[in-house]
Chains A and B, each alone.
Chain A
Amino acid sequence: MSTPTESLPEPAGPAGPPGLAEPGPAGSGLPAPGLAADRPRHLALRPGTWLTWAVLAFFLLNLAGVIASVLLNSFGSRWFDSWLPGGWTSHWYTDAWKEFSLGHVLGVTLEVTLLVVAISLALGVPAAYALARRDFPGKKALNLLFILPILVPPIAYGIPLATMLYKVHLAGTLTGVILANLVPSIPFVVFTMTPFIEQIDPRIEAAARVCGARTHTVLGRILGPLLLPGMLAAGILVLVRTFGMFELTFLTSGPSSQTLVVTLFSAVNSAGIRSTQSIDAMAVVYTGSMAVLLLIALRFVNPTQLVARSAD
Chain B
Amino acid sequence: MTAATTTTPPTAPPRLALRHRLAERGVDRTLLLVLPGALALIALFCYPFLYGLQLSFQPTAGGVFGAYRSFFSDPFSRKSIWATFSLAIPASVINVGVSIPISYRMRRDFRGKRIMLAVLVVPITLGTVLTAEGILEFFGPAGWFNRTLHLLGLAASPMKLTMNYTGVLLSLIISGFPFAYLLTHSYLSGIHPSLEKAAATLGAGWWQRFRYVTLPLLLPGLLTTFSLTFVMAFAVFPSALMVGDPDGRTHVISIEAYEAALERFDYAQGCADAMIMTVLMLAVIGALAAARSRMYRGATGGKG
Contacts and interface: CB of A to CB of B under 8 A. Distances in A.
A134 B3 contact: no
A233 to B, nearest CB: 15
Interface string B43-70: 0111111011101000000000000000
How large, as a class, is the contact surface on chain B? 35 or more
Interface string B117-148: 01101111111111111110111001111010
Interface string B90-111: 0000000010011011011111
A152 B220 CA distance: 20
Interface in B258-288: 258, 261-262, 267, 270-271, 273-275, 277-278, 281-282, 285
Given A1-B206, A246-B238, A286-B129, A70 B46 contact: no
A89 interface: no
A287 B52 contact: no
B200 A4 contact: yes
Contacts of B36: 122-123, 126-127
B51 A145 contact: no
A256 interface: no
Contact of A18 (B118, B187, B299): B299
A159 B41 CA distance: 16
Contact of B37 (A22, A56, A123, A164): A123
Contacts of A69: 133-134, 137-138, 143-144
B5 to A, nearest CB: 11
Contacts of B281: 151-153, 156
Nearest to A282: B129
A110 to B, nearest CB: 17
How large, as a class, is the contact surface on chain A? 35 or more
Interface in A1-60: 1-6, 8-11, 15, 18-25, 27, 37, 39-43, 48-49, 51-53, 55-56, 59-60
B186 A305 contact: yes
B130 A70 contact: yes
A159 B128 CA distance: 20
A310 B183 CA distance: 12
B300 interface: yes
Nearest to A6: B206
